[in-house]
Amino acid sequence: MAKTKFHRDWYKLDNSAKIFPTVSNQTETNTFRVTVSLKEDIQADILQKATDHVLERYPMFKVKLKKGLFWAFLDHNSKPFLIQPMTHEICGEMIPHDNNGYLFKVMYHHRDIAIEMFHSLADGGGVVELLKSLTYEYLRLTGKKVTPDNIIATKDEKLEYEEYEDANVKYYNKKNRKHIPEKRAYRIKGTELETGLTGLISGTVDTKSMLTLARKNDMTVTEYLTSIVMYTIYVTQIQYREHLKSNQRPVKIFVPVNLRKHFPSRTLRNFSNFIKTNMMMNQSDITFEDIKVLVKNQFKEGIRKEELIRKMSENVAFEKNIFLRITPYILKQFVLKIGYSMLGIKLNTMSFTNIGRVVFPESMKPYIKDVTACVYAGKFNTVNCAIITYEDRFKMTFTRSIVETKIEREFFRFLRDQGLDIEIESNYVEESI
């Protein structure tokens, strides 16, 4: 591809991405996956060709991670990118040596195309756009009459600077960067699965029915489902055992927020922040209504633009700290690992990610059946959930690093009791042990 004036051979890691290369390992992989299911079996040779074409359009993904003197950075990767058959492993560790240095994978299985990505490269919003382009190019190469309709970025379009900018730095405000200390969060415990195994349970409901139910409760879908998750953790893990020392920590649900909906940005790199619920559950009489009120109020506060900027600026200010900036990267890694272990990962009970609605052009819809998303589950955040919507299919996918499935079963039972029909899928990993 001819280089535009915006094209670069290397990129700084964006502000949100800098922590991940240091703290990721076999159990805390910091990877996530988005999958599109087609109505015909995948032709691997054509998918490989489509991937090669699309990477010409997205050079910020055709990179490898390198260590500099003060920070890691992303350098152009000239090695071939090879698609892979899907294995049983879900959101496993991204090992560059096994992947020609790349920080993401394109995988296929029967009718599924999946992109699994390391968080240093992009967030869910960026991966969805990449997967849409890949699906379009694949269908085009198989002879389907599809059109982009200003919804798909095609291989013939030029890369724009705004697509790879670090939007966190763009909206940083040094006057609004106050750090608010937090307590460690409650941890969901269970029987650990073997390293490399992840339990997965998905539930699919009708999109309109889900929206109607949330509105009936005077909440957004994310607020309503976060409330159910909180209540589920309470009744399955804590209630009537609230006196135990391990249950004296607050339940905190980490809910990523796509900042592109709040700030004018087209970046395909990391540009998300978070809302976090925070509730002590050391009582035996907490009701679902109590939790709904708390969640709605905490979401209202967390979504304020000033609060989103504060959290964003707090992270950027940390990076801009003069003492950290002049510290060699080899020493930074040591400091970041300790800080992440003591504070970062242990401040959340679980992650609850709503990637949102995926939109394809009308010409592509006849060939697409479903879209799924999932995130890794680790040693501390043992259960996580990702939501994604395509047409009338609203899909909630739980991943876990423990054997027990009480939370997922109670969550879907609650929704069934509200009158929703749910289609359940599982990889039944617990039965293989």
- Of 42, 54, 33, 39, nearest in space to 365 by CA: 39
In angstroms and rounded to an integer, the radius of gyration of the C-alpha atoms of the chain is: 21
For 283-321, letters b (16+ CB in 10 Å) and e give eeebebebbbebbbebbeebbeeebbbbbbbebbbbbee
**What is residue 414's predicted lDDT score, i.e. its pLDDT?**
98
Give the pLDDT score at 3. Answer: 41
How far does CA 411 lie from the centroid of its chain?
Answer: 20
Closest to 350 (Cα-Cα) out of 289, 418, 296, 274: 274
Per-residue pLDDT of the chain in tens (433 residues, 90 and over written 9): 344 444 467 778 887 777 788 888 888 999 999 999 999 999 999 999 999 999 999 999 999 988 877 777 889 999 999 999 999 999 999 988 889 999 999 999 999 999 999 999 999 999 999 999 999 999 999 999 999 999 999 988 888 888 888 888 888 788 887 777 888 999 999 999 998 899 999 999 999 999 999 999 999 999 999 999 999 999 999 998 888 887 889 999 999 999 999 999 989 888 888 999 999 999 899 999 999 999 999 999 999 999 999 988 887 776 766 666 667 867 767 666 666 665 577 899 999 999 999 999 999 999 999 999 999 999 999 999 999 999 999 999 999 999 999 999 999 999 999 999 999 999 998 777 6
pLDDT (0 to 100) of residue 318: 66
Task: Output the pLDDT for position 91.
Answer: 96
CB atoms within 10 A of CB 86: 18
pLDDT for the residue numbered 335: 67
φ and ψ at residue 333, rounded to 5 degrees: -60, -40
Q: With the CA atoms of 70, 74, 80 and 83 taken in that order, what torsion angle do they form, in degrees rounded to the nearest 10?
A: 120
Tokens of 84: 């892979």
Is residue 402 a contact partner of residue 382, using CB atoms and an 8 Å limit? yes
The per-residue pLDDT for 197 is 93
The token duo for 217 is 């409760």
Contact 94, 120 (CB under 8 A): no
- pLDDT computed for residue 171 by the predictor: 86
pLDDT reported for residue 4: 41
pTM for this entry: 0.93
